[in-house]
């Protein structure tokens, strides 16, 4: 059974850092473009970052450019989101997702598999 499990979330003070991990099972991660999304209470789901199958190309949402970095280790079947200079507005549940598209997508619709999410809370 396909499963994506996020980890690494928690509480951090503004300006701090966290690294999220998404471990995949039941699929070969190298066959999928991967993405991170987040959703805060009362807000719509927001695209955070995406990376191509071989890690050669990345895309980051405007709100996180220069602060967050997506990466992947296909040998470990894991994708990461390094989050630096965290702000209170980054507080959200963060989800990883796997897409069968041939391109990086910012649209949640393009992602077939989703994790359950991990909470990130940034205090001021």
Question: pLDDT per residue over 61-117, tens digit each?
Answer: 999 999 999 999 999 999 999 999 999 999 999 999 999 888 899 999 999 999 999
Q: Give, as one character, the DSSP assignment of residue 55.
A: S
Question: pLDDT per residue over 17-48, tens digit each?
Answer: 999 999 999 999 999 999 999 999 999 999 99
Query: Residue 124, class by beta-carbon neighbours within 10 Å (0-12 exposed, 13-18 middle, 19+ buried)?
Result: exposed
Query: Is the Cβ–Cβ distance between 52 and 39 less than 8 Å?
Result: no
Task: Provide the b/e sequence for 56-76 (b: ≥16 CB within 10 Å).
Answer: eeebbbeebeeebbbebebee
Residue 1 tokens read as: 């059974």
């Amino acid at each position: 059974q396909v499963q994506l499990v996020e980890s690494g979330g928690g509480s951090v003070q503004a300006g701090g850092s966290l690294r999220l991990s998404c471990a995949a099972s039941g699929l070969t991660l190298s066959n999928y473009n991967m993405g991170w999304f987040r959703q805060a209470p009362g807000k719509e789901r927001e695209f955070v970052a995406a990376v191509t199958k071989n890690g050669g190309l990345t895309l980051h949402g405007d709100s996180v450019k220069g602060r967050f970095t997506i990466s992947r280790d296909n040998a470990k079947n894991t994708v990461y989101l390094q989050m630096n200079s965290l702000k209170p507005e980054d507080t959200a549940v963060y989800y990883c997702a796997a897409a069968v598209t041939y391109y990086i997508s910012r649209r949640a619709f393009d992602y077939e598999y989703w994790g359950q999410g991990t909470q990130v809370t940034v205090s001021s």
